[in-house]
A and B are shown apart, each in its own frame.
Chain A
Amino acid sequence: MIVLNSSDGATFEVEESVAVQSQTIKHMIEDNCADTSIPLPNVNGVTLARVLEYIKKHAEAKDDEEGLKSFDAEFVKVDQASLFEIILAANYLDIKGLLDLTCQTVADQIKDLTVEEVRAIFNIMNDFTPEEEAKLRNDHAWAFE
């Protein structure tokens, strides 16, 4: 069993065989940095718990394609801020499957939206001047296929 410490002091126990889905953790174990526990200062407790839920499910139900698909679909039904935290964690912990899943989810959210709708979801300020915006829209006279 491996012990993981989140940034806010929570501890989690997980089987080594499950934990190595994270390349980061795998390398730490191989390099012998994991004697007592592994500190993960970039991931908070709530997010780490979610990530562990993902890798545990993917370890135990490895061959059940359909089951995993529905699990993944439910897994990403969280609020925007949490989704971003999971992306950051998946990136830091180097868990490819989780990173693919979460980035694809965000891409799917964005793909059919207008500019204003995207800005609203991500809480982004429009920093273009009207002239700059007009010039950009002009570029789109080239039709993207």
Chain B
Amino acid sequence: MDSILCDELLQEIFHRLPPSSSAAVSLVSKRWLRLLRSSTVALSLTFISTPLALPSLSSFLSHHPYLSSLSLSDSSSSSFSSSSHHLLQSIASSCPNLRHLRFLAEPVSGFSLLSLSNSCSHLSSLTITLSRPLCFQWLAPLRALKDLSVFITGSETELFSYNGFASVLDAELNLESLSLCGSRGVDYGLNFLWRNCKKLEKLKLKSCECVGDNASFSAFIKGLETLKEVELRTSRTVADGVLLKLAEGSVSLSSLLVYDGGSKEGLLQFISHSRADVQKLDLRLPLDLDNDHLIAVAENFRTLSSLRLQSCCLVTGEGLKTIGRALSEELEELALINCDVVEREPGLLTTLGQNLKRLRKLDLSYNELLLDKELSAMLVSSSNLKELKLRGCNRLTNMAMVSMARRCKQLETVDIMYCCRIEMEAVELFLSNSSHLRQLQVEESKLSVVAKKLVSKNCIEIVA
């Protein structure tokens, strides 16, 4: 009967199948196998076999000539240090049309990547684990590459003299987004990136102690006119320098994230002197953020639309109220996650709710002492909320859900996981009064039969 449907239509059906069906579908008949393989554009594989599986990866991939996206990860703990080279060669020779590659099965060296970069010229995004010593010459042929994510690994002893790299040819790279994890003092190979990424828009650094040669890096940050988003995670030693340079240049910067390691002075310098129209600020700095910073934000970032603070215990109501007044027509998203100021100062949330007239997204997760009446008082003024997250707020009871149902009729996304005092009846009541709800994060056990019917009738996504 399937002969009624032409190849094209059968492929339309295959496109709508989840990846888990591929195994069964490919065994139905030769025609189905052929069509499935030629319509597969994305594969996500876990490398669970031994090195003996190498020849079969090559032939396996060669059956999927239209593959544009491939992800290979490793679930086994044994390391096949010589095999990553062969795996990359298999990929390079079998998948010339690849656009996206995630290769986290094994660390690779710059040398192995040459075969990839010479064959897969359409690659636009790449995620890899790179082993030391770092070398980025292989990036030059990848003219279409916009997104690069590198996890750096390997011995940190300086085994090679870098004089040999002085003659490394520069090449203008088209990278727009760069993400680095784990760089250390010996990683001078990074200087190639600082000299050649002139179009970078997003920079993400995680657990980076050092980024190659400081002078190169500083010149890079300061000169980067296209930089829009910066994320610094657990990179205390680097953060200071970055923030100071961002303050001097980077007028296009619109989003800054600093978690777990910044510097008071660097951050204050940046906030007070930046000429950029920063839209989003996301800070998790228990020891480095205080009211001075918030007051500076209120003065200098007049177009801020999103402020997220996590575990910022030095902040008090005074700083937050200054923000509330200054950004009353601007701020659309506010997060005060695990910020005990919310619990320490009754009435703070009420004031913020009254001031922030444009508030659409509110996140008060993990404030374990937050009381119903504090939340309700804020919700009275925030009737246009679309997103509300209260994960882990153990003190909230059914009353909180009643307030939400009554005051915030526009809610689309709600998170009430781990709110142990909120019960089934309250969840059901909320569901029957929220016509705009699209997603609810709650334990399955809190959904009554009626609630489940409402969920399926209104196509609400439940996430546990």
Contact = CB atoms under 8 A, between A and B. Distances in A.
In the complex, which of the residues A123, A133, A144 has the most CB atoms of chain B within 10 Å of its own CB atom? Answer: A144
Contacts of A114: 24
Interface in A43-86: 69, 80-81, 84-85
B43 interface: yes
Contacts of A87: 5, 9
B29 A139 contact: no
Interface in B206-265: none
Nearest to B47: A142
Given A81-B1, A111-B17, A144 B22 contact: yes
Interface residues of A, number: 39
The 6 tightest CB contacts between A and B, nearest first, are: A107-B16, A145-B44, A123-B1, A143-B46, A115-B27, A122-B2
Interface in B1-49: 1-2, 4-5, 8-9, 12-30, 32-33, 43-49
A136 B33 contact: yes
A34 interface: no
Interface string A109-145: 0111111001100111111100001001111111111
A102 B83 CA distance: 45
B56 interface: yes
A71 to B, nearest CB: 15
A79 B122 CA distance: 44
B450 interface: no
Contacts of A91: 8-9
Given A103-B9, A124-B29, A144 B17 contact: no
B53 interface: yes
Contacts of B17: 107, 110-111
Nearest to B57: A142
Contacts of A137: 27
A110 B60 CA distance: 23
Nearest to B11: A103
A61 B232 CA distance: 51
Given A111-B18, A128-B30, A118 B1 contact: no
A144 B9 contact: no
Contact of A113 (B24, B29, B32): B24
Nearest to A99: B12
Given A142-B57, A144-B44, A126 B18 contact: no
